[in-house]
Amino acid sequence: MADSPEISASRAASYRPAALVSTAVFAAFCGALVLYDPRYTQLAIYGLYAIPAHLLISFLPHEPALWIAARLYPPIVVALVGTAATLVAIVLDYWLIGWLVNHHLVKPVVQESRWFTFASRWFRKAPALLIVGSALTPGLPFYPVKIMAIAADYPLRRFIVALIVGRLPRFYVLARFLAALDNYAAPKNSTLMYIVLALAAFGAWRFWKARKQVTARK
Tell me, what's the pLDDT at 1?
38
Contact between residue 86 and residue 54 where contact means Cβ atoms under 8 Å apart? yes
pTM: 0.80
Q: How many CB atoms lie within 10 A of CB 113?
A: 18
pLDDT at residue number 7 = 59
Asked if residues 164 and 83 have their Cβ atoms less than 8 Å apart, the reply is: yes
pLDDT in tens, the chain (218 residues): 344 445 566 677 788 999 999 999 999 999 999 999 999 999 999 999 999 999 887 778 888 889 889 988 999 999 999 999 999 999 999 988 766 665 555 554 555 556 666 667 777 788 888 899 989 988 777 877 888 788 778 899 999 999 999 999 999 999 999 888 876 665 666 666 666 666 666 555 555 555 555 455 55
- Say how far apart CA 110 and CA 116 lie, in whole Å: 6
Enumerate the domain spans of the chain.
9-178+189-217
